Every structure is written in structure tokens, then in C-alpha cells.
Amino acid sequence: VFAHVVRAPEDPILGVTVAYNKDPSPAKLNLGVGAYRTEEGKPLVLNVVRKAEQLLVNDRSRVKEYLPIVGLADFNKLSAKLILGADSPPIQENRITTAQCLSGTGSLRVGGEFLAKHYHERTIYIPQPTWGNHTKVFTLAGLSVKSYRYYDPATRGLNFQGLLEDLRSAPAGAIVLLHACAHNPTGVDPTLEQWEQIRQLVRSRGLLPFFDSAYQGFASGSLDADAESVRRFAADGGECLIAQSYAKNMGLYGERVGALSIVCKTADVASKVESQLKLVIRPMYSNPPIHGASIVATILKDRDLFNEWTIELKAMADRIISMRHQLFESLRAKGTPGDWSHIIKQIGMFTFTGLNSEQVAFMTKEYHIYMTSDGRISMAGLSSRTVPHLTEAIHAAVTR
Ligand code: LMR
């Protein structure tokens, strides 16, 4: 009965890892998926995460009961505080509801399904380009996906006029997906002045902002600076949605830990919204897993562990920034044609190199370097040892 099933293509991002794993070359390098690696090219479990896990294991009072449908209460409160700041009006006025979800993707999906059921406007505008999964997540959630201009290939920067024009002509009430910081895949963010203009436009047109915050602390090394865009929207009295992920900033990729927050006008509305979120979640996966959220809550509520986390987080962000400088200097030293200054101007985990899909295919075939076909490379996958190999490959690709 399944003989008619057609083979689906691999995922454009996770499929890169599948291809990488099959390559026997010792020189192979995976710059596809956004996952942090050490200078030795190894995945990293933060020390503070190991400590928290030890505390959890030693606590014999802990059991493996089901969590509530919206997850661990402590985790939810602390997550809202982390992204908005403790003084944020929605927290002070108790008009925010937060549900622990399956990392950023799960938070986006639950938020999308809630909006498709309970919000009057089903259209969501996403930046062009955006993370490859956004369109699929929101389409399957029941929303209609349109895009707004974001990236300008000519300047390798923000197409701010295009962005403003497209949001200005979006129907009143439309949902707008915004990357809180470290835009994926371009590494191009609005300045704070530009954020302010976006905020005013969004509010004056009655658009509904939905933030995807996957890199808090990872872009600049500061948890507060990377949350500034979201905080401004949350503080202005209007509604917004926020999807948070702890995959990158706590290195909890496979634990699937994240949160969806919905900022409402009143506490009463927030509690009704929460009751409906439960109806979205229960038939989807019943309730979320306990381990990752317990790690996060343990770290966020203990001042020493929290401080230790910020130091480790900054070290990861700094290593990525140093990789940007090393790659830029290396291409310059080699005399590779082109202006590569965008490598040091873009921020976050990724550099949007400007290499086209043929150049990417060439680099994979000849140099065993794996990356997404849009030319995005994960700077977190690079190390001082592998910068020369990547430089050779880019040089060969652009001078062929
Ligand atoms: C990425 O863009 O590489 C990450 O967000 C991982 C993923 O799930 O795609």
C-alpha cells in the first residue's frame, strides 16, 4: 500500500549533515548546521550544564512524573524574565503567558497553530530570505506565508527601505516574523534606530510581531543586548509572541528545550490564551520533556550558575567573532578576489558568504566542505586549524 510513496529530498540544512557523515575524507568539514564546535572541532557541553545535571541527579526527591501541559512553571517564569528583563511591564502586570515547548521550532509551531485558530488574520510575513524551516512550520500550522524584503545582495546588508515598504503595504493585522537578533541565514540585523522605526510602523499598522529568538547571548555575547529588539516591543503596551530556544545559548540542542511567550493586554486575556494553548499542545505531544527544562531552570535561578553560564556563553560568542576575523584576514592575505568585509560585519552564528550554489557544490566535491546551498556557513563549525582549508576552497571557487 505504500509502493506509490515518492522519496522526499533531504532537509536543506539537516541533510547537509547526512551527506557529511557519509564522506570518508579526513579533510571533511561540516559548516552546514548551526551547532557550536570547540577549537578542536568537537561538540561542547557547557560546564555549567554538567553541574546542573549533577545537582539534578543527586536530588533524590526528583521524579519522572508528567509535567503540566504547558511545562515546568519555574522554567516558564525564568524564560520570560530572561528574554524580557524582570522589570518588563508584561511581567510586572502578569499579562504574559509562557509555555515550555520543543525548542524554537516547537515554540513557533505551537504559536502558529494558536494564531491560526484564534487570530483574525492568517497571513504571516517572513523575511526574504529566512531560516529554511519557517515557511514549512507556519504553512503546516495553518497560516498563509508571504515574505517581506530583508537582504540586499548588492550591499550584503539590510534592504531597509524594501522592508519598510513591504510592511507598510501588508494588510492591517498581519503577523510579522522578526528574528530577534543574529538573523539566520544572513547575519544582518537592523540597528537599534532601525528597530525603533520598525516598531513604530508595526504598531501604527496594527501588525502582530512574532519574534524568533534563537541566539540570545550568542550574537554579541550579552544576553541583554541581544534581547533589546524584543524588549522594546514588549514594553510598548502592545501584544507580541516570542519563541525562545536554548539550543545554541546553553548548547542544549538535542534536549529540545524552548518556550513560547504571548504578551497580552490584560492578565485575564493571558490566562484565557494559556487555556487555549493547552488545547493546541495536548493533542500534539501531550506535555513537554522534563530534563532539559530542569537544567535551564536550575541554571537560571541560581546566581552563581547563572554567572558561570554568562561567562561560558561569552566565550562561545567571542570564539565565533574571532573566527570571522581569522577567515577575513586569511582571504585578504591570500588575495582572494572580492570584498569580504561582510564576514566581519555580519553577526551571530552564520556568514552569508555570497557564494552561489555551483560554487558551494564545487567546494563540497573538491574540498569536502559541507554547507547549505545558499552559501551560508556556520562560523561556529570553524576553527583556527580549518580556516586555511576553507580559504583555499573559497579562493578556488571564486577564481575558477
Ligand atoms: C540551523 O539553521 O542550522 C539551525 O537552526 C539548526 C536547524 O534546526 O536548522
Based on the fold, state whether residues 287 and 311 are members of the same structural domain: no
291 and 311 co-located in one domain: no
Does residue 165 share a domain with residue 100? yes
Does residue 33's CB lie within 6 angstroms of at least one atom of ligand 1? yes
pLDDT score at 85: 97
Report in angstroms the alpha-carbon separations of 174 from 107, 142, 147, 164, 338.
19, 14, 11, 14, 39
Q: Are 80 and 261 spatial neighbours (Cβ–Cβ below 8 Å)?
A: yes
Question: In this predicted model, what pLDDT tens digit does every residue of 88-120 receive, in sequence order?
Answer: 999 999 999 999 999 999 999 999 999 999 999
Give the three cell numbers for residue 58.
543527586
Residue 64 lies in a domain: no
Q: Whose CA is nearest to atom 9 of ligand 1?
A: 13
What pTM was estimated for this model as a whole? 0.96
Per-residue cell: 301: 535561578
Clarify whether residues 292 and 313 are in a common domain.
no
Choose the final residue of a domain: 256, 285, 301. 301
Q: Is residue 391 within 8 Å of 340, Cβ to Cβ?
A: no
Residue 68 DSSP class: P
Contact 167, 200 (CB under 8 A): no
Q: Read off the pLDDT band of 153 (50, 70, 90).
A: very high
Query: Measured from the CA of 214, which atom of ligand 1 is nearest?
Result: 5
Distance 13 CA to ligand 1 centre (A): 6
By annotation, the residues acting in catalysis are: 131, 212, 248
Q: pLDDT digit string (tens) for 167-178? A: 999 999 999 999
How sure is the predictor about 52, in pLDDT bands with cuts at 50, 70 and 90?
very high
Question: What integer pLDDT is reported at residue 347 of this predicted model?
Answer: 92
In one-letter notation, the amino acid at residue 230 is V
Is residue 131 in contact with ligand 1, taking CB distance under 6 Å?
yes
Same-domain check for residues 98 and 154? yes
Expressed as residue numbers, the domain containing 319 is 14-45+306-395
> Does residue 77 belong to any structural domain of this protein?
yes
pLDDT tens digits along 181-200? 999 999 999 999 999 999 99
User: Quick one: 90 and 35 in the same domain?
Assistant: no
CATH value at residue 284: 3.40.640.10
Percent of the chain scored above 90 by pLDDT?
99
Please state, as a whole number, how many other Cβ atoms lie within 10 Å of the Cβ of residue 114: 21
CA-CA distance, 395 to 162, in Å (whole number)? 32
What residues contact 190, with CB distance under 8 A and at least 6 apart? 158, 160, 163, 198, 229
Q: Return the C-alpha cell found at 54.
A: 549533577
> ipTM value of the model?
0.91
CA distance linking residue 147 with residue 192, whole number of Å: 22
Q: Give me the pLDDT at residue 76, please.
A: 98
Prior bond of 26 cis (ω within 30°): no
Relative to beta strand 96-101, strand 123-128 is: unpaired
Residues 243 and 106 in one domain: yes
Look at residue 7 and tell me if it is in a domain: no
All three cell numbers of 323? 573566527
What is the rounded CA–CA span in Å between residue 132 and residue 134? 6
Average pLDDT score over the chain: 97
- Name the domain boundary from 236, 271, 301: 301
Mutation to probe ligand 1, out of 16, 103, 131 (largest number of atoms < 8 A from CB): 131
Q: Which of 246, 226, 295 lies closest to 105 in space, CA to CA?
A: 246
- 141 and 217: one domain? yes
The answer to whether residues 116 and 254 belong to one domain is yes
Q: At what angle do helices 267-285 and 103-118 cross, to 10 degrees?
A: 110
Going from the Cα of 291 to the center of ligand 1, the distance in angstroms, rounded, reads 21
What is the predicted pLDDT for the residue at 134? 98
**Per-residue pLDDT tens digits for 312-361:** 999 999 999 999 999 999 999 999 999 999 999 999 999 999 999 999 99
Does residue 245 sit in helix, strand or coil?
strand
- Asked whether 212 and 225 are in contact (CB, 8 A), the reply is no
294-307: per-residue pLDDT in tens?
Answer: 999 999 999 999 99
Is 184 near ligand 1, meaning CB less than 6 Å away?
yes
Mean pLDDT across 277-289 = 98
> How far separated are the first and last CA of the chain, in Å rounded?
49
* pLDDT, position 371: 96
- Which of these three, 301, 333, 366, is where a domain ends? 301
Distance 130 CA to ligand 1 centre (A): 11
Same domain (yes/no): 296, 313:
no
**Residue 168 sits in the same domain as residue 93:** yes
Give residue 368 CA to ligand 1 midpoint distance, Å: 20
User: Is 127 a domain residue?
Assistant: yes
Phi, psi of 288 (to 5 degrees): -85, 165
Residue 164 in domain: yes
Is residue 103 lining ligand 1, measured as CB closer than 6 Å?
Answer: no
- Residue 56 resides in a domain: no
Contacts for 396 with CB less than 8 Å, ≥ 6 apart: 362, 363, 366, 367
Task: Tell how far the Cα of 2 is from the centroid of ligand 1, in angstroms.
Answer: 30
Contact yes or no for 112/126 (Cβ under 8 A): no
- Return the HEC string of 364-393: HHHHCEECCCCCEEEHHHCCCCCHHHHHHH
Q: Output the domain CATH number for residue 41.
A: 3.90.1150.10
Residue 21: per-residue pLDDT: 96
Is the CB of 253 inside a 6 Å radius of any atom of ligand 1?
Answer: no
Q: What is the pLDDT of residue 146?
A: 98
Helix or strand or coil: residue 260?
Answer: strand
Average pLDDT over residues 23-41: 94
Domain annotation covers residue 378: yes
Q: Is residue 224 part of a domain?
A: yes
Residue 184: predicted pLDDT: 96
Domain count, the chain: 2
pLDDT of residue 169: 97
Q: Are residues 248 and 355 in the same domain?
A: no
Q: How many CA atoms lie within 13 A of 319 on its CB side?
A: 20
Phi, psi for residue 152 in degrees, rounded to 5: -110, 105
Is ligand 1 within 6 A of the CB of residue 31?
Answer: no
CA dihedral 157, 160, 163, 165 (to 10 degrees): -150
